[in-house]
Structure 1
Amino acid sequence: MELAKMRILDLQFSVEHDPEMHILLLQLFEQKYALNKNYGSPRRTRDSAFNSIKLLKVTWYELVPSIMSNMLNPDAIFSNNEMSLSDIEIYGFDYDYTLVFYSKHLHTLIFNAARDLLVNEHRYPAEIRKYDYDPNFAIRGLHYDVHRALLMKIDAFHYIQLGTVYRGLSVVPDEEVIAMYDGSHVPLEQMSDFYGKSSQGNTMKQFMDIFSLPEMTLLSCVNEHFLKNNIDYEPVHLYKDVKDSIRDVHIKGIMYRAIEADIEKYICYAEQTRAVLAKLADHGKKMFLITNSPSSFVDKGMKFIVGKDWRDLFDVVIVQADKPNFFNDKRRPFRKVNERGVLLWDKIHKLQKGQIYKQDLTLKHGWRTGAIIPELRSEIKIMNTESYIQTMTWLQTLTGLLEHMQVHRDSDSQMILEEWKKERKDMREMNRNFFNAQFGSLFRTDENPTYFLRRLSRFADIYMASLSCLLNYELDYTFYPRRTPLQHELPPWSDQLCTGGEVRCLFVVLFHPLMRKDRRETFPCQSEETISYSLEEGKNNLFLICKRRERERMLYSEGKRN
């Protein structure tokens, strides 16, 4: 009988969010993989253990098609806080990377323009022009140590993810990182505060904006050039010069003029943007647009993606808002902008539909926030691939095995543990490479959420890959966040064969040849509907058991001789 023919009823789980799925018979491994000398020589025992692990891995991989039947939806909206769209009467939109998405050419434009400003205005070596923008180098959310000129990924608890620290374009060895920081933890006083503002004495800058991708790459390239050519430099000055050059690309209008001159090259036409705005307008929702960009630039872009009548869809348009100061600076009043982009002197008493305004602040009235994260769609698509599911499933399994088996201190057991540790390290690197070869996922370090995700979870009630995701929901839909268990709410890895009646899970029971034929194992199960399947290979019997939620009862199975 083939595994593909086995029916698995109501098999629903997520590889990432249900750790119970990854724990394969950990309660039994102590007897099956512990090197008990009563059952044979150490060599034979080790071989049996490794062979059984290989069988378990191969068999688990054969279940991947069933796991993949419960794919994550890249067009879904995800919730950090409970929120009903029926309570939202006013919708506000940013312009860049919310209403308008840019092509890959834009970051190359910003990189090249800032690089040329470094050469022409800051007198940097002309040789840095040999460096081109690499869209696959950096990800958002990275931190930059201004004094050490190091780019790195930090998790939600201020720990550096080793293997992701770069000096220039080269990774810094873990031992050197640990020596520099006396470990891998970055003290709070060295980082910007939780709101992204600089605090006194901080040395870490976090790059949260999509526009910061060319800035990180340019910093790394110039650092690389100085290091390769033994040029003595002050990292703080380099950081400031690159920052100023990137800023000037925007402030001096270099980026705006280039986009307006070839709008089809730089702006991705998105027909669904108008569909979203029209849907909201048809339901009587009020809308406003707020952006740091100038009026003429926004007007041309919106005409391209929405149409000449785009302003009819918005009640208020605010340009050159100077975010984030816009949200808390009370000293600047609104100013009206005419059709030619000229500021008028009229005193503003109220905001009128169809008019464009500049500056001022938002009033804090408990706004709910939705974040647009374009990278989300590509990351979910990767998570839905067979190779990713295989890797993550086995990685979690190895983690459970290591926790459970570390109590065995004999040399042979320790040898097996070292093999598993090496394999686990290799698979963690493989997992990182799925997303970005240097820094991995935007949302995760090896185990923990990234600092980027921590801030996203704090400030965004909901988040999605693009505005078009709203088309998949009615405007009275309520988003409910998933209840994620805390660490103290979960049993140890080795006890997670099943956790609570609300969890549906699959686990594998492997009978090792070292077991005596009369040995009987028991394990908790929560189902009256149990499917068992036996795969014979050598002296191993493999039983696959699919559980559905119900009251706990005890089942048992036993190995048999061929």
Structure 2
Amino acid sequence: MLSSCRNLYFLTPSLRESRLSARKVYRLLLQAIGSARMAHHDGRDSADFTRGISLQDIGCDDSNPSRSDLTKLLTGLDISEKGLSALNLQLGGEADDHDGPSGLKTHSSRVFVNRSLNMNTIKYVGFDMDYTLAIYKSPIYEQTSYDLIMKRLVEIGYPKELLDIEYDPSFPQRGLFFDKEYGNLLKLDMYGNILLCQHGFSDVDQAVIRQCYPNKFVSPAESRYFGMNTLFNLPEVYIQACLVNYYDTHADFKKLKSGTGVESEDLILLYSSIFQDIRMAVDYIHIEGNLKQKTIENLGLYIAKDERLPRLLKEIRDSKRKVFLITNSGWHYTDAVMEYLFDFPHGPERGSEHRPWRSYFDYIVVDAKKPLFFETGTALRQVDTKTGALKMGKFKGTVREGESVWAGGSSDSFCQLSGARGKEILFVGDHIFGDILRSKKRQGWRTFLVVPELNEEIRDWQSAQASFSRLKILEYSLSRMCRTPGGPDRDAPEKDIEKIRTEIKKTAGDMDRCHGSRFGSLFRSGSRQSYFAMQAMRYADLYAESFINLIHYPPRYLFRAPHQLMPHEQFLPSVSEPKASPGVRTISEDSPLRIAQSASTYHDEDDEDSDETAQNSPHLSTRTAN
């Protein structure tokens, strides 16, 4: 199919010169040729027909094709104008129908789609505050948090030498799991298989991994494993590694035979105890400590702001939608941060009058205690905005939109308060568990995940394309050697098979090293997607580097997800390549190129020698390398 379409593209000057990309022509013709409505023309099959067609054949201007010319072309292929509109074809740009409005060139401006979302059905748009509306500057904010946590640990009895350890922002990554029993940091794939295992600052040997984790598999839902899914966890990840490394290498301590901690002459210190102390220190600096006070005292140092924020919220409200804020932060901190985010000399537009930040929101909920908010929740109480005190009892009365601030409550009580229903709500947040997963599973809200790391991930992914292609070819070669029913190909020496397996692991490591973190990409390791990627694809309808990217899309935009085929569906005659035309070279089924182009190739998930490949995330689609 791809060969035929490329052949058409290069043989038809009108298409080649119409500013449509080859990949876009491919998609256009894929819809046409694959259609069951496609009839035989003059006894020719679909491949012969497409190979010879041109705009001149149907009476169109070959030098300057218009939208109507393309409509005639599609009509000749039995696709209606309505079908053309559905494809969102634009002659003026190369952005495809999954990437957003025509002319949206940069990844940093795009919203990526996991599940189609018609914005016309959304009546309420909600936002989290921390790391969503308020983006904390990295690494200065993590450095400050790290210093305060370490100071608190020393205050409760840990050695003062810990204060001499400098924070390394290149080490931590969110999406990891901490094993409280063995003190390991784990990066998991989408099924729970271990991709990487780190103990302190050392890689764990494969034999040790198999001893601690049979089949190299864990169940992330077990209480033994603590998931670090938010950017607030980054300093915590590094401190966990620091403390484990400190006690494992200290001359006065030796490891317990069970591998669950260390001991000295008069002390046993379990990794689970270290974890609990770190957790308590983290909670202390956020709730009782002075992290928030330090932030308020120098908001410009710690928080980035965007003058487009007022305009975006105004546009949302102008489209007859309600806007609300739900944050875990208290009222005084929320008020200070939001006041800063809207602190511009103008209003939504330059030259317009400045407006207080609360005027942009219909409902404001603080101290929400997510993810509990999406479950049983707490009592919903009004906040006295002058003192920050909570009014006694549950609220009963008339809701004055934009005037009342609420504390606590639950998603159920909020829906009763606002009149909203599940799928009418789009909620934007950064916390994969607290904001996205729970709101989706418990209430059916539509979800938008903010991934501040996304631009860097895309940049690194583009750098890793050569390694990724090589990885696919190596996997293909290995599968050829192991095709015989009785095991490896008898003609393939075992040493050759082992050589390819070693090369696969090396190439996967090369891909990981394209990323700045010790743990590689946030979304994958080699060709295997991470547990974080699985959660993002499963629970986030939309995702982007910033919520502000919504400003590039019309208020009633239809975000359409690309069609995804299961492996058995990819090779059905209706979606596979049509019969090759004479002189047109096709890609053989066994070709490494076909393996590399396959949207979804699956291996046995327990086979550590094969690098499992899952459906690419939208932002990692190979079309970005067109």
Q: Provide TM-score, normalisation by structure 2.
A: 0.64
Asked whether 1:479 is paired with 2:559, we answer yes
Structure 2 unaligned spans of 5+? 1-6, 11-15, 25-94, 100-104, 254-262, 264-268, 344-354, 416-420, 423-444, 587-592, 595-626
Secondary structure at the counterpart of residue 334 of structure 1: strand
**TM-superposition CA deviations, 1:129-153 (whole Å, max 9, x none):** 1212221112111111101100010
Structure 1 residue runs of 4 or more that deviate by more than 6 Å after TM superposition: 6-9, 68-72
For 1:332 and 1:126, the matched residues in 2 are separated by: 42
CA shift for structure 1 position 76: 2.0
For 2:489 and 2:531, the matched residues in 1 are separated by: 37
1:448-467 paired onto structure 2 within 5 Å = 448-467=528-547
Q: 1:153 to 1:170 in 2, by over 3 A?
A: same
Secondary structure at the counterpart of residue 216 of structure 2: coil
Which residue pairs with 2:504 in the alignment? 424
Q: 1:501 to 1:378 in 2, by over 3 A?
A: farther
Secondary structure at the counterpart of residue 81 of structure 1: coil
Which residue pairs with 2:328 in the alignment? 292
CA shift for structure 1 position 459: 2.5
Q: 1:411 to 1:444 in 2, by over 3 A?
A: same
1:436-515 paired onto structure 2 within 5 Å = 436-490=516-570
Secondary structure at the counterpart of residue 271 of structure 1: coil
Structure 1 unaligned spans of 5+? 1-5, 14-67, 193-198, 492-498, 505-523, 533-543, 546-562
CA shift for structure 1 position 178: 1.1
Q: Are the counterparts in 2 of residues 72 and 380 from structure 1 also a CA contact under 8 Å?
A: no
Secondary structure at the counterpart of residue 434 of structure 1: coil
Which residue pairs with 2:469 in the alignment? 393
**TM-superposition CA deviations, 1:217-276 (whole Å, max 9, x none):** 111111111111043221111000000101111101411101111111000122232232
State the one-letter code of the partner of 1:362.
Answer: S
Secondary structure at the counterpart of residue 226 of structure 2: strand
For 1:272 and 1:404, the matched residues in 2 are separated by: 54
**TM-superposition CA deviations, 1:459-494 (whole Å, max 9, x none):** 222222111110121111112222323344456xxx
Secondary structure at the counterpart of residue 543 of structure 2: strand
Q: 1:281 to 1:143 in 2, by over 3 A?
A: same
1:269 to 286, 302, 305: 305
Secondary structure at the counterpart of residue 115 of structure 2: coil
Q: 1:434 to 1:526 in 2, by over 3 A?
A: farther
Secondary structure at the counterpart of residue 95 of structure 1: coil
2:165 to 131, 135, 139: 131
CA shift for structure 1 position 78: 2.1
Which residue pairs with 1:220 in the alignment? 241
Which residue pairs with 2:455 in the alignment? 377
For 2:516 and 2:575, the matched residues in 1 are separated by: 35
Q: 1:303 to 1:503 in 2, by over 3 A?
A: farther
Q: Are the counterparts in 1 of residues 381 and 406 from structure 2 also a CA contact under 8 Å?
A: yes
Asked whether 1:333 is paired with 2:380, we answer yes
State the one-letter code of the partner of 1:315.
Answer: D
1:26-175 paired onto structure 2 within 5 Å = 73-104=107-138, 105-120=140-155, 122-161=156-195, 164-175=196-207
For 2:187 and 2:554, the matched residues in 1 are separated by: 38
CA shift for structure 1 position 183: 2.4
Q: 1:445 to 1:72 in 2, by over 3 A?
A: farther
**TM-superposition CA deviations, 1:177-228 (whole Å, max 9, x none):** 0122122011x3xx32xxxxxx5xx311111111011111111111111111
1:12 to 19, 23, 35: 23
Q: Are the counterparts in 1 of residues 481 and 489 from structure 2 also a CA contact under 8 Å?
A: no
Q: Are the counterparts in 1 of residues 380 and 406 from structure 2 also a CA contact under 8 Å?
A: no
CA shift for structure 1 position 372: 1.0
For 1:228 and 1:317, the matched residues in 2 are separated by: 49
For 2:323 and 2:492, the matched residues in 1 are separated by: 68
Q: Are the counterparts in 2 of residues 74 and 381 from structure 1 also a CA contact under 8 Å?
A: no
Secondary structure at the counterpart of residue 446 of structure 2: coil
Q: 1:340 to 1:11 in 2, by over 3 A?
A: same
Secondary structure at the counterpart of residue 323 of structure 2: strand
State the one-letter code of the partner of 1:225.
Answer: Y
State the one-letter code of the partner of 1:236.
Answer: S
**TM-superposition CA deviations, 1:13-36 (whole Å, max 9, x none):** 9xxxxxxxxxxxxxxxxxxxxxxx
1:203 to 203, 220, 224: 224
For 1:139 and 1:370, the matched residues in 2 are separated by: 21
Secondary structure at the counterpart of residue 387 of structure 2: coil
CA shift for structure 1 position 72: 8.0
Choose 215-224 or 342-351, whichever is displaced more.
342-351
State the one-letter code of the partner of 1:174.
Answer: Q
CA shift for structure 1 position 331: 4.6
Q: 1:394 to 1:503 in 2, by over 3 A?
A: farther
Q: 1:169 to 1:525 in 2, by over 3 A?
A: farther
CA shift for structure 1 position 338: 1.9
State the one-letter code of the partner of 2:168.
Answer: D
Quote the sequence identity (%).
Answer: 25
Higher relative contact order (CA 8 A, sep 6+): 1
For 1:72 and 1:152, the matched residues in 2 are separated by: 33
Which residue pairs with 1:355 in the alignment? 404
Q: Are the counterparts in 2 of residues 86 and 477 from structure 1 also a CA contact under 8 Å?
A: yes
Q: Are the counterparts in 2 of residues 316 and 351 from structure 1 also a CA contact under 8 Å?
A: no
CA shift for structure 1 position 526: 4.5
CA shift for structure 1 position 300: 1.9
2:250 to 222, 225, 229: 229
Asked whether 1:319 is paired with 2:366, we answer yes
For 1:355 and 1:89, the matched residues in 2 are separated by: 20
Which residue pairs with 1:36 in the alignment? none
Secondary structure at the counterpart of residue 132 of structure 2: coil
**TM-superposition CA deviations, 1:395-424 (whole Å, max 9, x none):** 112211221234574576554444333322
CA shift for structure 1 position 328: 2.0
The size of the alignment, in residue pairs, is: 434
2:390 to 322, 343, 356: 343
State the one-letter code of the partner of 2:392.
Answer: W
For 2:334 and 2:545, the matched residues in 1 are separated by: 22
Q: Provide TM-score, normalisation by structure 1.
A: 0.71
Choose 74-83 or 108-117, whichever is displaced more.
74-83
